[in-house]
Structure 1
């Protein structure tokens, strides 16, 4: 009998006395990873509820809860006839899927996900700086300048600079007037996405460039939107790991 890594993982988790109320969460994560890993290809039916219950040794209520979460994550679609089809997650899933992967102990490479999140951070930050230069109030622009001027006083400790940097960028993102950017920012800095766990030394060049922080604030206050966008992208891109990423297929 061949070994099933998914079954082995669930068995190991059960042996560690995981709470019974967490079984559906465990099963959701295992089925999610099976879909993301290609063991359940798009367009194929998900294993029937009773067979999943037998495979993992859990009750059918736990299976139903797990499948419901897969449906909410837009990884599967439940048809009117009751059959559950696997969807192409690259076309249907949202950012919440990346958050779930980041929080899990298994699944897709969190190293690649960290790089991807840092690339998203650079794009969101650059456009937020552009919009902030266009939309923010005079009072908000003045506060951004004052905060940048005080930024150097937080160094040279990288942890202190990192905290001050987040507070300064929050002013810029709020000044952009873009709610979607603000929510993405909250996920990026709040630990929901792996950017929050990036070592400060990876961000040394960005955090220690006080002059760039001051100039970016001045561009925003002067309503120089394109200059603010270019400088913000250059500054934030310094923290993106210089690795060749895989194309999303």
Structure 2
């Protein structure tokens, strides 16, 4: 546990140094021995941190060459969002909500589109899964469980849309979201109320009304956005 916590802290330190351009895109990080000494950690801890940063698309390590800083705007994917969001919200100069606004903008665009398609294409089996999952949200024993159940419902809506690319996109975005879900639990503190907010959306999908489903999704996503941002 202590080692994992140290790796987490080191990932945060190096991430911040990259995003504040101490190590700009295209530059090489110092040699591992020097870098580890500079951060006061072992080379083993440093290697674990560099692997995490490489998975996020911030750096690339090549044997015999070293570790290069990548341009995340060209090389990064959704898996980088937790690092960018955490950095922006914990900026010593004050929170920068720019990333947060853009994430919610994409959430609304994709969410309304998927829900409309689900209303058009859902099968009887899809509807049964959605209604069972809707019930699971309202019956959740706590906020975290309700939040995870609601995330699974959105994944099911993507499956009901019949578009496999949307399924993969939602899987990726949900993985990112769940890593930092503690920031956004306000809508789920009362699981019963969380379930009630979903009811109009599920009713429109059940009715097969794409227009109503899109409108209901837009209302739901806006309601939860306001609750989430109010908590932050």
Q: Which has the higher helix share?
A: 2
Greater C-alpha Rg? 1
- In structure 1, C-alpha distance between the alignment counterparts of 2:153 and 2:62, rounded to whole Å: 48
1:121 is the counterpart of 2:107:
yes
Unaligned runs of 5+ in 2: none
2:224 match: secondary structure: coil
Cα contact 2:26–2:68 (8 A) shared by 1? yes
CA contact (8 A) 1:124 1:181 kept: no
For residue 50 of structure 1, report the CA deviation from its aligned partner: 2.2
1:34 partnered with 2:14: no
* Corresponding position of 1:60: 43
- After superposition, the Cα gap between the structure-2 partners of 1:67 and 1:138, relative to the gap in structure 1 and judged at 3 Å, is closer
1:107 lines up with 2:87 in the alignment: yes
Q: TM-score, normalised by structure 1?
A: 0.63
2-side partners of 1:224 and 1:26: how far apart? 48
**In the superposition, relative to structure 1, how do residues 188 and 117 fare at CA in structure 2: closer, same or farther (>3 Å)?**
farther
1:68-96: per-residue Cα shift (whole Å, max 9, x none)? 33222221123565132211112222222
Q: Secondary structure at the match of 2:60?
A: strand
Instruction: Confirm or deny: 8 A CA contact 2:155 2:171 kept in the other structure.
Output: no
Number of residues of Structure 1 aligned to a counterpart in Structure 2:
215
TM-score where L is the length of structure 2: 0.66
1:10 — aligned with what? none
State the Cα distance separating 1:238 from its structure 2 match. Answer: 3.0
Residues 1:193 and 2:180 aligned together: yes
Structure 1 unaligned residues grouped into runs of 5+: 1-17, 244-249
Cα deviation 1:46-105 (Å, max 9, x = unaligned): 122222122123333333332233222221123565132211112222222223466xxx
Report the secondary structure of 1:108's partner residue.
Answer: helix
Corresponding residue for 1:237? 222
Aligned partners of 2:188, 2:130: CA distance in 1, in Å? 25
